[in-house]
């Protein structure tokens, strides 16, 4: 019996990967083209490659990995960031409390008398005096 061997088909470079154009990327990552450009120029988003003179593209796997990295960052936040956040929240609370105390003190000074040193009169008392 003769053994037959079949030639294997060469695997594609990206078997399950698609090439995504800018509008397709924007469906996955809802940022404006300008914001995406700023991000990739700043190293915060994968850089595209040129398909032609006026066409940029990304590999789908690259975009999916970038999105997954953002999800993973939020799932396991940096402990130093949590500490800085907690300090920021405490500082904001203290600032609001100081502002509230200052307004309360100011309010009590305002209700005492007017600039002439005369007691404040309500509208009803003013009408009674006028009669």
pLDDT tens digits in sequence order for the chain, 131 residues long? 555 555 554 455 555 689 999 999 999 999 999 999 999 999 999 999 999 999 999 999 999 999 999 999 888 766 666 666 677 778 878 888 887 776 666 555 555 555 555 666 555 566 666 66
Cβ pair 59, 19 in contact under 8 A: yes
HEC string for 23-92: HHHHHHCCCCHHHHHHHHHCCCCCCCEEEECCEEEEEHHHHHHHHHHHHHHHHCCCHHHHHHHHHHHHHH
Kindly report the pTM of this predicted structure. 0.49
CA atoms within 13 A on the CB side of 106: 6
Domain ranges of the chain: 19-75, 78-109
């Amino acid at each position: 019996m003769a053994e037959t061997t079949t030639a294997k088909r060469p695997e594609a470079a990206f078997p399950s990967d698609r090439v995504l154009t800018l509008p397709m990327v924007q469906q996955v990552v809802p940022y404006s083209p300008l914001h995406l450009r700023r991000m990739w120029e700043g190293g915060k988003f994968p850089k595209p490659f040129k398909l032609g003179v006026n066409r940029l593209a990304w590999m789908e796997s690259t975009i999916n990995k970038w999105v997954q990295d953002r999800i993973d960052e939020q799932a396991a936040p940096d402990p130093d960031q949590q500490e800085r956040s907690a300090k920021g929240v405490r500082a904001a609370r203290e600032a609001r409390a100081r502002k509230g105390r200052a307004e309360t003190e100011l309010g009590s000074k305002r209700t005492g008398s007017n600039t002439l040193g005369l007691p404040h009169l309500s509208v009803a008392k003013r009408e009674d005096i006028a009669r």
